[in-house]
Amino acid sequence: MVLDASGGQPQTRHTPAARAQGGLLVLGLFVVLLFAIELVNAATFHSLNRTFGLRPRSADGLLDILTFPLFHANLGHVASNALPLIIFGFLVFMSGLRVFLTAVAFSWFGSGTLVWLIGGWGITVGASGLVFGLFAFLLVRGFFNRNWWQIALSVVLFLTYGGILFGILPGVAGFVSWQAHLGGALGGVAAAMLLKPRRVPQERQATERKS
């Protein structure tokens, strides 16, 4: 917290406006990074995918979990992930940096882990697992938090983007990794469960009121 030099009034860095600015900056820089990596990747004939893409059920593939969302098949692949990443990521970021980082981490590792365990024999790249994870987080967190505003947002998001959930089904699109989508979505749900408010027992609440 800082003081306003003009009136001595406290200002906080956690206002909705500050969070909105921070969210746009973080998501914008991340998307710019994805495009920059893809430009370098394309210039090397996508040789980086063979190095940093996720190779299922291989010892080296465990390290690929840390890198595979940063690489894509082409610029169109990056573009298809960019807008939903910004939208969903921004909405999650509005709940705070800790919530955002938790949702991203669970989506990232959930997506990579499931691909490593049951993915096909090819190399998997792309940030769509993060998209599905953040989307799933937004869909379910209101129900865990018992927050009607968050539930209303989840309904709006489902009506607008719910069609992407078909991407978690095997065989719907042969050229995409449904394992990455499903793993990311499961990670997002797990993050929402972890971050739900803890209920204080009624006996403890009564004790705290008396004290």
Q: Per residue in 68-96, pLDDT tens?
A: 999 999 999 999 999 999 999 999 999 99
Tell me the whole-structure pTM to 2 decimals.
0.88
Of the candidates 22, 191, 45, which has an alpha carbon nearest to the alpha carbon of residue 107? 191
- How many CA atoms within 13 Å lie on the side-chain side of 56? 16
Residues 6+ apart with CB under 8 A from 153: 91, 138, 142
**Residues 130-148, mean pLDDT to the nearest whole number:** 96
**pLDDT tops 70 at residue 205:** no
Tell me the pLDDT of the chain averaged across its residues.
89
**Terminal C-alpha separation, the chain:** 29
Do residues 184 and 191 make contact, with C-beta atoms less than 8 angstroms apart?
A: no
Q: Domain 15-197: state its class.
A: mainly alpha
In our burial notation (b when 16+ CB lie closer than 10 A, e otherwise), range 153-168 reads bbeebeeebeeebebb
